[in-house]
Every structure is written in C-alpha cells, then in structure tokens.
Amino acid sequence: MGTLCGPLNREEPKTVASYINTAQNAWNIQLLNHTFDEHIVKEILAIKLWPASTEHKLVWTETVDGQYTVNSAYHFIQKSEATQIVSCPSSSYITPSHLWKQIWKTKTAPKIRIFLWSLSHNAVPTNYNLFRRRITNDPFCILCSTHSPETTEHLFLQCPWTQHIWHHPNVQINVTAYATHCIDAWLTDISQQKGNVPDFETIAALLWQIWKARNHVIFRHHFTHPDQLVESALALTHLHITVQKQQSKQQPKTGKKSPNPNTTWLPPLQGMIKVNIYGAFPIAENLGAISSITRDHTGSLLGGFTKSVPATSALATEIQAFLYTLKDLLQQGKHHSDLIIETDCLILVEVINHERLPLWEDILPSFSNLKVHHCRRSANALADWAAKAHGRGSLSPTWASSPPPPLLDLICNEALLAGCTLFPT
C-alpha cells in the first residue's frame, strides 16, 4: 500500500480510470482497498459514476437548462464586474449602480444618454484610448498646448480649453485635478451635489457639446468658442426638458393625439396672413437651411426668405426658422397683424404653445395676434422645397419677388387645390 501524498509504488494505478470496472461501470473495490485507507475508500465510493455511454457536452452553468443565452451572459458579466475594482488613471474606484440609473433617466436625447454610458466606461475614442489600441500614433490633446495625453479626464475636465466652460458664469463648477482622477467618480459626485450646481441634464449637454466641439476641430478644422458652446448646451437642455415634459402629459391641448388632418396647404381667412416655415438639416458641415413663406387668403406670395444657419440638429434648425421668422415679421411691422405661423415640427408647436423659453420669451409678447399651428409635411411643401433648394445653392436671392418656374408651379398648384378664387401672379 502506498502512502497518501507520498511516493508512488510501481504496482499502483496511475489514473482514476484504472480504479473503475468498465464492464460493470462501478468502482473496483478490491483495488481501492489495496491502495487506500478505509475512510478514503468510503469517500471515493460515495462518488457516483455516470454511465459509460453518456455523451459528453458543454453546459452553461448560468441557466437552469444549461443552454447559453445572451441575457444570462450579460448578467454574469455584470455580477463579475460588480466584484472587481475598476482601474482608473490615479486611483481605484467602484462605480455605484445609481450612476447608471441617473444616466438612463436623464431628460435628454437618447444618443446623449448612450454617450454618457460610454464616457463612464472610458469607451469614448479619445486620442489616448486610440493610441493604446495602436489605432493612432499621437495620444496628445489637440485643444491645448500643454502636450498632455488626451485621456477622458483631460479632455472633458482638465484641459485649459475645457476649464473655460466649467468656469463660465452660467456653469461655475470648480474642477480640480484631485477631484477628477476618474470621470465616472466625478459624474457620481456631481450628480449627488445640491445647491448652485447645474442639474445633471446640463452637465450631460455640456459634456456632449465638448465632445462635438473636439470632433469639429479634428474633422472640420473649426474651433468653437467656449462661451458659444455653453449657450448652445443651456438652450438645448432647456428645450429637451420642456419637450419631454410636454410628451409626458396625458392630454396635451395640441399634440400627437389630434394632428392636423389636412394633407394640403389651406389659405388663412381673409385679412389674415399665413407664414409657413421649414428647417432642413444638414445641408453641409454643421449647417442647416431655413425658409419662411408668407401668403394671404388668395394663395398669393407676399414675401419670404431663405437662410443658412449653424445648427447641430434638425430641431435646432426648426427653432431658428421660427426665431428668424419672428424677427422678419417684426422688422416689417406686421407684429400687430393677424398671423398664423405653420410648421410640420409637432414638438416645436407644442413647446411654443405651452411653455415659456428664454429663446423666444423676449420677442413673442410683441405679437398681439399670433397663432402657431402644426401641419403635415405635405401641407408644408412650398417651405420644404425652398429650404432644400437654398441648401443646394440653386435658389436665386430674388426668388421672393421673382419666383423661379418650379416655385411658381408649387404656389399655383397649392392655391388651386385650396380653392382660392384669385390666381396668384
């Protein structure tokens, strides 16, 4: 008999299979007793032997039936990561679960929530992250002259250019190197602060605008002034919150439950003026095109304008079409006329009719008889065509006084379909 954990006798079997009687699929008790002590033999005999004919297969231990599913794998990874320490540039930090909840409930565009999630996982393709993956040869920040690696923390928090944003009078967040060792730790801390700190929606918008501004420098060689970035972020934040507030209402006065059923343009009542507006986005690098078409009850073209505007989204373009139209009507002295502004952007109509925003609250009170209506895209065809033609560069600057043939055809057709008695000239 050999000694447990001692030297092996030449006569002793060298594999577990040697102790199994394959003909009977049972342990060879005689051989076990010859090799091991009695108590060890009892423990070995307690091990159940599977039938020799049983086919071997891979089994996924995270499901009851042993079958692999993506859902079970995701939860397995989540559990594994929860027990691991996330490594950061200068410290170790465990991301709390409430940060993820805060990100997914943020009142902003879905793409910005996804961006925040990627940012918290250090998955944003900064120069440093690309350099680590051997995708680029340069890990340094392009926004500053400090020759610092463009890590996530540097780009969004520590860069001198970014510091101007956080120190802006309307933001006023003191970002120090000690407090920004890890971007998700900073987000967690800022989301829990009270007082004069901007809300999480504003923080999200600022981070998103920083990322977009950085990409504009790389791909379009265009630098954005920090003050302009802050103003854009604050305006869009206010708008996103207001839009979601409107969408959450069960019975909006003007909303998605009762859209305008008319599929063609309808003239205003006699004595009123209707202005159709449209925003086309994008037409070029970070540009949109807007149009404003003014007609009376006969369908006659009274005037209008088209314009290229800087924009970051379709909604931002529609907002500028509305604002420029208000300014144009005010300059013409028509702010006391009976006016209807019509757009196919339903969200914009709901926000204008139900909320006061800094974007237009200073100019709207100047209009005594203004109504803003929603129309379908087919009923806004003239403004649609004008904006896109301007974006293509195919519209003459004098189109409002001398309409080109395609535009004149649209004016005439819409007037005829609307049953106007006076033919537009």
Give the residue extent of every domain in the chain: 1-56, 58-87, 95-248, 273-417
Which carries the bigger pLDDT value, residue 202 or residue 52?
202
Q: What is the mean pLDDT of residues 398-420?
A: 90
Kindly report the number of other CB atoms within 10 A of residue 266's CB atom: 18
Q: Is the predicted pLDDT of residue 6 greater than 70, yes or no? A: no
Average pLDDT, the chain: 84
In the prediction, which pLDDT does 354 show?
A: 73
Q: Is the predicted pLDDT of residue 53 greater than 70, yes or no? A: no
Give the pLDDT band (50/70/90) at residue 162: very high
In the prediction, which pLDDT does 236 show?
A: 72
Q: Max CA-CA distance within the chain?
A: 117
In the prediction, which pLDDT does 227 show?
A: 87
Q: Is the predicted pLDDT of residue 386 greater than 80, yes or no? A: yes
- How do residues 85-128 score in pLDDT, each as one tens digit? 444 444 455 778 889 999 999 888 888 999 999 999 999 999 99
- How do residues 240-283 score in pLDDT, each as one tens digit? 776 666 556 544 444 444 456 778 899 999 999 999 999 998 77
| Range in 25-39, 315-329, 345-359 the model is least confident about | 345-359
Give the pLDDT band (50/70/90) at residue 210: very high
- Cα–Cα distance, 281 to 386 (Å, whole number): 13
The helix-helix angle for 346-354 and 226-248 (nearest 10°) equals: 90
Q: Please state whether the predicted TM-score (pTM) of the whole model is above 0.75.
A: no
Query: Token digits for 224?
Result: 């954005």
In the prediction, which pLDDT does 424 show?
A: 47
Question: What amino acid is encoded at 401 in this protein?
Answer: S
**Contact status, residue 128 vs residue 151, Cβ threshold 8 Å:** yes
What's the fold here for domain 273-417?
Answer: Nucleotidyltransferase; domain 5 (3.30.420)
- How do residues 278-337 score in pLDDT, each as one tens digit? 999 877 766 889 999 999 999 999 999 999 988 777 888 898 899 999 999 999 999 999
Give the pLDDT band (50/70/90) at residue 422: low
Give the pLDDT band (50/70/90) at residue 344: very high
In the prediction, which pLDDT does 247 show?
A: 57
- Cα–Cα distance, 377 to 379 (Å, whole number): 5
- How do residues 168-190 score in pLDDT, each as one tens digit? 988 988 887 655 678 988 998 88
In the prediction, which pLDDT does 353 show?
A: 81
Q: Is the predicted pLDDT of residue 36 greater than 70, yes or no? A: yes
Whole-Å CA distances, 157 to 93, 100, 131, 147, 254: 18, 20, 20, 16, 42
Q: Is the predicted pLDDT of residue 403 greater than 80, yes or no? A: yes
Q: Is the predicted pLDDT of residue 224 greater than 70, yes or no? A: yes
Question: What amino acid is encoded at 309 in this protein?
Answer: V
Residue 144 exposure: Cα atoms within 13 Å on the Cβ side: 21
- Cα–Cα distance, 420 to 128 (Å, whole number): 64
Which carries the bigger pLDDT value, residue 36 or residue 423?
36
Kindly report the number of other CB atoms within 10 A of residue 14's CB atom: 8
Q: Is the predicted pLDDT of residue 397 greater than 70, yes or no? A: yes
